[in-house]
């Protein structure tokens, strides 16, 4: 598929955006029935948007994503277009408003093609928790695409759109990016607006881009980032300059090669990370081998904090105002019947976990303790960043795994996020970039982690790895 | 009402007041009472998926104003989520301040000189309003429930007093004084009948000097009268139980205005576990010192200061005048009185007429111009109108907006010609020689006798002061 940069350039030069939309629609129609990437394809809306982009270009507007088809994770609100979070409880709901990130994409000339599949309410690492069936990995349909943003990662891997948006609460962008062989960015917390992003765990959720290459991911992040007054946790700064820094390289940078971000991964994954480290060293970076033991505590802290926030965020799905309603004898009965019928098993598990963790008598031992561990994680990262510019490790312990291989044991599934969770706890940015291949010739993701607002440096390093991968 | 000897009431109040902001606490929807159901709602105050709260600065300012007026310290504060399911609460959690409120540790001095401590005054959002149709008329057992979310997200400040009050009357005085302060700060319109202020009363009884007794909380009292009655009822209930050898169960109770009694809503064991945790969608609220100073500097005088100012216009205020001044400030008429006096009205008359006649006709206050008021008072002071006539004229001006001089003329309130009055007094002196003698001997009470006779003869058209002047002239 043509890159977003190339599409935007040719549409700006007068080529019709309609051509790009039709190309994307064709790619979607060829494989969506098989892969279940899109839950909803907005053909009419995309074609209308293409006309508008052509008109805006004709009027002389400069649009950084002119005519670029984009896929949206189905937890992003889109006015008048079904937004389900892959849950039966929201089936048929059409939001009366549009998320800030989608508004910014539209303003930049991008064309939303539709809504992609995810684990229900973004809770999962394989899209197997979708109420509307799993998404298949386009590289090997017997395997998962990762999750929770599996649909948005698969859309890129299947060549359906050049860019897409996902959300990352504990690795939900980086993990599927690694498993589908694409680039995924989890930005600094607050860099991208959460307004209109259906909350899973508010203090951890962050929207970010997927793309087939680092430059397209950087361009997309530039478009969606920057202060939004509708989100109180939004950082005050304007969007950072990223694309301009992609050729900055890594010469003179100090890179922490972190034991805990590789330990426990498959040998092919560990070898890929080691190879990436050598590339960075060869390009002039200083490699510092380090151990940050606190990172291993992240998983348990995350599985208290995220469910606790989720138990509150998901209370509103009560059958009263929108979405599914199943009648009961009284209001409480209606609430219960609706939630029993509307939520899947994993969502229920996490609501119960979180409710328990916040309950009187347990709060200090569970939620309170998890917050302390979160502080430990933040401090450990800060200490590391006093010595190095960024960290390198694996994104996931393995390449894409077969369907059903981890569904019986929630802990096995949760462990998939062990390398990605610490960045969410700290609110720091991290990038997954494809580097090397492993079992069954499937792609491996290398993860680069940095302190808050270090996206430009991280993406320059990711570009170094991408260039090396292409040259191999 | 008071308790039997040997018992003491202990009362603390939680007062919820809606803030008079232009928009709601966390969104741009209008904050106005009485609009069509669900016409003032948006994704945020409906709690739609993906929506996020943004704190209203005007609400923060009004909250700080309340804090400063109550002598609180304003400190960096946070918001928590209070989680429980209720259909009129769209997110099924309420955003409220919990362990770190914006205002804490203040006090309120009551007109009787007593001081009530203020533990905290914090910001939170209001819920929508449910109407239950059919069946029991309450949420359990109704056939249908309708919810209006216009009120959802309206800013509230909850003001929590210490357990400092010792009678229902004192609690009522506290609520009334607080209401005056909330109106003065501009934070609230003080309209109890519209639910702008709602009271929860914590009531317990004890033997004087003993530790605090077990308390019950009476929820959602919406008038000063209900507040006082409910507290009296509840305290008497406690005493009756305790004197019977029983124990008070800690619980939340409901007041029925019709039945004049409280009843159990829920016991402590049934209380919700609200699972409070820090609201991750909002950041710490720490108003800058400059902002705090601006709000403090803009605070208008509070009712206590205004009462004191008003009392300075009379040299030795009587207790009736002190009460009258309280009424005038409550009605926001103190400026009016001061202006009238500045324009030449007699201070004592202005206070008396305002706290009585104008207070009675307050709904048509717009009909009464300052000039008309001053003119009427001057006619009375000069003796052109008797007190009775002046009251009648004032009532008619309030009712119709007419000119006081024209009204007096139309009613035939012509000044009794002084020679007519003189002749009349002369004939009365002749007709009542005993009374006249005693008056001349210095019995001033007899002046009232002659005034009464004159009023009888003139059907109330004479001026009492003029009669006294005439009598004195003949002494």
pLDDT for the residue B389: 87
Q: How far is CA B303 from the centre of its chain?
A: 11
Interface of B with A in 415-474 (CB under 8 A): none
Burial of residue B320, with CB atoms counted within 10 A of its CB: 0-12 exposed, 13-18 middle, 19 or more buried: exposed
Residue A457 tokens read as 């440096």
**Is B277 in contact with A308 (Cβ distance < 8 A)?**
yes
**Rounded alpha-carbon distances, angstroms, from residue B224 to B10, B107, B264, B348:** 18, 20, 21, 29
Per-residue pLDDT, B446: 87
Instruction: Please enumerate in sequence order all residues whose Cβ is within 8 A of that of B31, keeping only pairs 6 or more positions apart, or say none.
Output: B18, B19, B20, B21, B22, B23, B24, B40, B154, B155
Q: What is the pLDDT of residues A342-393, one digit of tens each?
A: 999 999 999 999 999 999 999 999 999 999 999 999 999 999 999 999 999 9
User: Is residue A62 domain-resident?
Assistant: yes
Judging contacts by C-beta atoms under 8 Å, the chain A residues touching residue B281 are 199, 202, 232-233
Give residues 44 to 83 of B whose Cβ lies within 8 Å of A.
Answer: 46-55, 81, 83
Residue A130 in any domain: the answer is yes
CB neighbourhood size of B193 (10 A): 8
**Contact (CB<8Å) B43/A97:** yes
Q: CB contact, 8 Å: B300 with chain A?
A: no
**Strand runs labelled E in A124-253:** 163-168, 183-186, 206-211
B144 at interface of A, judged by CB pairs closer than 8 A: no
Identify the pLDDT of residue B413.
79
Q: What is the pLDDT of residues A316-355, one digit of tens each?
A: 999 999 999 999 988 899 999 999 999 999 999 999 999 9
Handedness of CA A362, A368, A373, A377 (dihedral sign): positive
Length of chain A: 472
CB contact under 8 A, A197 and B277: no
Q: How far apart are CA B330 and CA B304, in angstroms?
A: 10
CB contact under 8 A, A231 and B141: no
**CA of B272 to nearest chain A CA: how many angstroms apart?**
10
Per-residue pLDDT at B231: 98
Is residue A113's pLDDT more than 90? yes
Sheet holding A111-116, edge to edge: A38-41, A111-116, A69-73, A163-168, A206-211, A183-186, A430-437, A443-449, A390-394, A254-258, A286-290
Q: What integer best gives the mean pLDDT of chain A?
A: 97
pTM of the predicted protein model: 0.90
The reply to whether A418 falls in a domain is no
Q: Do A95 and B53 touch (CB under 8 A)?
A: no
Scanning A340-369 for CB atoms below 8 A from B yields 355, 358-360, 363, 367
| ipTM score assigned to the predicted complex | 0.96
B1 pLDDT more than 70 = no
A423 lies in a domain?
A: no
> Smallest Cα–Cα separation from A197: which of A131, A121, A134?
A121
Tokens standing for residue A94: 């059409």
Location of structure tokens 């994503």:
A65
Residues 210-229 of chain A whose Cβ lies under 8 A from any Cβ of chain B: 229
Torsion, CA A22, CA A24, CA A30, CA A35, rounded to 10: -150
Question: Which amino acids of A are annotated catalytic?
Answer: 73, 148, 172
Q: Note whether B271 contacts A: Cβ–Cβ < 8 A.
A: no
| Two structure tokens written together for B62 | 């009004």
Q: Are the beta carbons of A330 and B140 separated by less than 8 Å? A: yes
Mutate to test the interface with A, among B49, B60, B278 (most CBs of A within 10 A): B49
Reading the block at residue A315, the tokens are: 């209370």
Q: For B398-417, how does the pLDDT look when each residue is reduced to its tens digit (9 = 90+)?
A: 999 999 988 988 887 765 66
The least confident of A386-390, B142-146, B335-339, B349-353 is B142-146
- Asked if the model's pLDDT at residue B385 lies above 80, the reply is yes
| Separation between Cα atoms, residue A191 and residue A201, nearest integer Å | 16
Structural domain boundaries of chain B? 8-297, 303-410, 418-474
User: Which H, E and C letters describe B262-275, residue by residue?
Assistant: EEEEEEHHHCCCCC
pLDDT at A37: 98
Q: Are A184 and A154 in contact (CB under 8 A)?
A: no
Residue A196, Cα to own-chain centre: how many angstroms?
Answer: 15
Q: What are phi and psi of B250, to 5 degrees?
A: -70, 125
pLDDT > 80? residue B263: yes
Q: Is the pLDDT of residue B69 over 70?
A: yes
Q: How far is A6 from chain B (nearest CA, A)?
A: 33
Given a cut of 80, whether residue A235 has pLDDT beyond it is yes
B406 touches chain A (CB under 8 A): no
Specify the number of domains making up chain A: 1
Q: Kindly indicate the confidence band of residue B382, based on its pLDDT and cuts at 50, 70 and 90.
A: confident
Residue of A nearest to B94 (CA): A312
How much is the mean pLDDT over chain B? 92
Outline where A369-442 has alpha helix (H): 369-387, 410-414, 421-426
Q: Which residue range forms the structural domain that includes residue A136?
A: 4-245
Mean pLDDT of A77-93: 96
Fold of the CATH domain B418-474:
Arc Repressor Mutant, subunit A (1.10.10)
pLDDT at B295: 97
Which residues in chain B are closer than 8 Å to A233, comparing Cβ atoms? 280-283
Share of chain B above pLDDT 90, in %: 73
Q: Is the minimum CB–CB distance between A309 and chain B shorter than 8 Å?
A: yes
Asked if A232 lies within 8 A of B52 by C-beta distance, the reply is yes
Q: Is the pLDDT of residue A416 over 90?
A: no
Long-range contacts, stretch A465-472, CB < 8 angstroms, 24+ apart: A465/A276, A465/A279, A465/A280, A465/A433, A465/A435, A466/A183, A466/A213, A466/A214, A466/A433, A466/A434, A466/A435, A468/A279, A468/A435, A469/A434, A469/A435, A469/A436
Q: Which of A76, A189, A232, A374 to mutate to test the interface with B (most CBs of B within 10 A)?
A: A232
pLDDT at A40: 98
B140 pLDDT more than 70: no
Mean pLDDT score, B406-432: 80
On the question of pLDDT at B135 being above 80, the answer is: no
pLDDT at position B416, please?
Answer: 62
pLDDT, residue B137, reads: 63
Query: Is residue B141's pLDDT more than 70?
Result: no
- Chain B residue closest in CA terms to A194: B50
Q: What is the mean pLDDT of residues B97-118?
A: 97
- Condensed to tens digits (0 to 9), the pLDDT of residues B269-290 reads 777 899 999 999 999 999 999 9
Residue A162 located in a structural domain: yes
User: What's the burial of A55, exposed, middle or buried (CB within 10 Å: 0-12/13-18/19+)?
Assistant: exposed
Bridge partners (DSSP) listed for residue B439: none
- Please tell me the least confidently modeled range out of A77-81, A102-106, B81-85, B446-450: B446-450
Q: pLDDT value at position B2?
A: 76
Distance between A183 CA and the closest CA of chain B, angstroms? 26
Strand partners, B263: B254
Poorest-confidence range of A81-90, B240-249, B270-279?
Answer: B270-279
pLDDT at B139: 64
Domain of A217, CATH number, reads 3.90.1300.10
Residue A74 phi, psi (nearest 5): -80, 30
Average pLDDT over residues B349-355: 94
A202 neighbourhood in chain B, CB within 8 Å? 280-281
Residue A89 sits at the chain B interface (C-beta within 8 Å): no
Which residues are CB-neighbours of B305 under 8 A, at least 6 positions away?
Answer: none
Confidence check: pLDDT of B475 > 80: no
What would the mean pLDDT of B179-205 be, rounded to a whole number? 95
pLDDT of residue B466: 79
Of B52, B85, B141, the CB nearest to A195: B52
- Closest Cα in chain A to B140: A330
CA dihedral B356, B361, B364, B367 (to 10 degrees): -50
**∠ CA B386-B389-B390 to the nearest 5 degrees?**
85
Q: Are B126 and B90 in contact (CB under 8 A)?
A: no
Strand A390-394 and strand A254-258: pairing?
parallel
User: What is the per-residue burial (b if ≥16 Cβ within 10 Å, else e) of A156-176?
Assistant: bbbbbbbbbbbbbbbbbbbbb
- CA torsion sign for A224, A229, A234, A235 is positive
Nearest Cα to Cα of residue B460 among B392, B394, B375: B392
- Answer yes or no: do B51 and A229 touch at CB < 8 A: no
pLDDT band at residue B196 using 50, 70 and 90 as cut-offs: very high
Interface contact A197-B139, CB threshold 8 A: no
Beta carbons of A315 and B283 less than 8 Å apart: no
Helix, strand, coil % in chain A, rounded to nearest 5: 45, 15, 40
Choose the closest CB to B85 out of A85, A318, A322.
Answer: A318
Q: Is the pLDDT assigned to residue A39 strictly greater than 90?
A: yes
Say whether residue A42 is in contact with chain B using an 8 A CB cutoff: no
Sign for the pseudo-dihedral over CA of A175, A176, A178, A179: positive
Identify the pLDDT of residue B136. 65
Statement: residue A415 has pLDDT above 90: no
Q: Check if the beta carbon of residue B128 is closer than 8 Å to that of residue B150.
A: yes
């Amino acid at each position: 598929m043509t890159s977003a940069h190339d599409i935007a350039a040719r549409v700006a030069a007068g080529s019709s955006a309609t051509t790009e939309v039709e190309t994307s629609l064709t790619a979607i129609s060829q494989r969506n029935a098989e892969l279940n990437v899109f839950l909803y394809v907005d053909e009419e809306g995309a074609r209308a948007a293409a006309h508008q982009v052509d008109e805006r270009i004709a009027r002389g507007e400069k649009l950084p994503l002119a005519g670029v088809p984009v896929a949206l994770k189905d937890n992003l609100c889109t006015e008048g277009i079904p937004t389900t979070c892959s849950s039966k409880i929201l089936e048929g709901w059409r939001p009366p408003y549009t998320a800030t990130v989608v508004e910014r994409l539209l303003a930049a000339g991008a064309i939303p093609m539709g809504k992609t599949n995810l684990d229900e309410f973004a809770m999962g690492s394989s899209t197997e928790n979708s109420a509307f069936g799993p998404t298949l990995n386009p590289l090997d349909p017997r395997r998962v695409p990762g999750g929770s943003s599996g649909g948005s990662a698969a859309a890129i891997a299947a060549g359906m759109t050049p860019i897409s948006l996902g959300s990352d609460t504990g690795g939900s962008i980086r993990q599927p990016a690694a498993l589908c062989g694409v680039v995924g960015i989890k930005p600094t917390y607050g860099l991208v607006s959460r307004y209109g992003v259906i909350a899973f765990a508010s203090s951890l959720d962050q929207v970010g881009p997927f793309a087939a290459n680092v430059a397209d991911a950087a361009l997309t992040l530039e478009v969606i980032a920057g202060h939004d007054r509708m989100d109180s946790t939004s950082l005050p700064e304007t969007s950072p300059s990223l694309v301009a820094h992609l050729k900055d390289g890594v010469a003179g940078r100090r890179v922490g090669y972190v034991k805990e971000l590789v330990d426990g991964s498959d040998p092919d994954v560990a070898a890929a990370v080691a190879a990436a480290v050598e590339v960075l060293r060869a390009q002039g970076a200083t490699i510092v081998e380090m151990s940050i033991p606190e990172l291993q505590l992240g998983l348990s802290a995350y599985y208290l904090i995220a469910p606790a926030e989720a138990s509150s965020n998901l209370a509103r799905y009560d059958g009263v105002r929108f979405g599914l309603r199943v009648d009961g004898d009284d209001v409480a009965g209606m609430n219960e019947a609706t939630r029993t019928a509307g939520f899947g098993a994993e969502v229920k598990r996490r609501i119960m976990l979180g409710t328990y963790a916040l309950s009187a008598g347990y709060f200090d031992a569970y939620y309170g303790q998890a917050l302390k561990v979160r502080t430990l994680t933040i401090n450990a990262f800060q200490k590391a960043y006093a010595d190095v510019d960024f960290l390198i490790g694996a994104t996931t312990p393995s390449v894409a795994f077969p369907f059903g291989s981890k569904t019986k044991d929630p802990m096995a599934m949760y462990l998939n996020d062990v390398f990605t969770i610490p960045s969410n706890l700290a609110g720091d940015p991290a990038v997954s970039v494809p580097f090397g291949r492993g079992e069954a010739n499937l792609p491996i993701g290398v993860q680069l982690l940095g302190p808050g607002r270090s996206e430009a440096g991280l993406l320059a390093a990711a570009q170094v790895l991408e260039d090396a991968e292409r040259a191999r | 009402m008071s308790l039997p000897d040997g018992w003491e009431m202990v009362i603390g109040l939680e007062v919820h007041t809606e803030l008079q902001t232009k928009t709601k606490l966390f969104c741009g929807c209008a904050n106005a009472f009485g609009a069509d159901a669900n016409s003032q709602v948006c994704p945020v105050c409906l709690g739609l998926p993906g929506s996020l709260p943004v704190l209203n600065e005007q609400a923060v300012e009004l909250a700080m104003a309340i804090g400063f007026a109550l002598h609180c310290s304003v400190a960096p504060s946070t918001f928590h989520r209070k989680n429980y399911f209720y259909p009129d609460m769209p997110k099924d959690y309420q955003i409220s301040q919990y362990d770190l409120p914006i205002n804490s540790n203040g006090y309120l001095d009551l007109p009787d000189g007593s001081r009530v401590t203020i533990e905290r005054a914090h910001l939170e959002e209001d819920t929508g309003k449910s109407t239950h149709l059919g069946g029991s008329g309450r949420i359990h057992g109704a056939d249908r429930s309708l919810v209006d979310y216009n009120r959802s997200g309206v800013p509230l400040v909850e003001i929590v007093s210490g357990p400092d009050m010792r009678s229902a009357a004192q609690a009522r005085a506290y609520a009334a004084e607080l209401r005056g302060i909330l109106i003065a700060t501009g934070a609230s319109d003080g309209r109890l009948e519209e639910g702008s202020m709602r009271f929860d009363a914590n009531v317990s009884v004890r033997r004087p000097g003993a530790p605090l007794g077990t308390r019950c909380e009476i929820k959602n009292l919406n008038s000063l009268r209900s507040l006082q009655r409910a507290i009296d009822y509840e305290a008497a209930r406690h005493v009756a139980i305790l004197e019977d050898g029983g124990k008070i169960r800690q619980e939340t109770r409901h007041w029925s205005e019709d039945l004049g009694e409280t009843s159990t809503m829920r016991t402590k064991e049934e209380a919700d576990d609200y699972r409070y945790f820090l609201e991750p969608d909002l950041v710490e609220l720490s108003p800058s010192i400059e902002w705090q100073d601006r709000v403090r500097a803009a605070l208008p005088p509070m009712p206590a200061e205004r009462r004191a100012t008003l009392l300075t216009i009379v040299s030795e205020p009587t207790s009736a005048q002190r009460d009258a001044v309280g009424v005038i400030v409550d009605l926001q008429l103190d400026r009016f009185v001061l202006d009238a006096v500045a324009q030449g009205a007699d201070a004592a008359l202005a206070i008396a007429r305002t706290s009585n006649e104008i207070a009675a006709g307050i709904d048509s206050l717009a009909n009464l111009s300052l000039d008309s008021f001053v003119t009427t008072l001057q006619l009375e002071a000069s003796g052109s109108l008797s007190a009775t006539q002046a009251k009648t004229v004032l009532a008619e001006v309030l009712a119709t907006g007419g000119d006081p001089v024209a009204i007096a003329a139309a009613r035939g309130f012509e000044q009794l010609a002084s020679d007519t009055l003189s002749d009349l007094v002369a004939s009365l002196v002749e007709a009542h020689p005993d009374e006249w003698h005693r008056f001349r001997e210095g019995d001033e009470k007899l002046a009232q006798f002659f005034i009464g006779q004159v009023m009888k003869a003139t059907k109330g058209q004479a001026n009492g002061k003029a009669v006294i002047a005439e009598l004195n002239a003949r002494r």
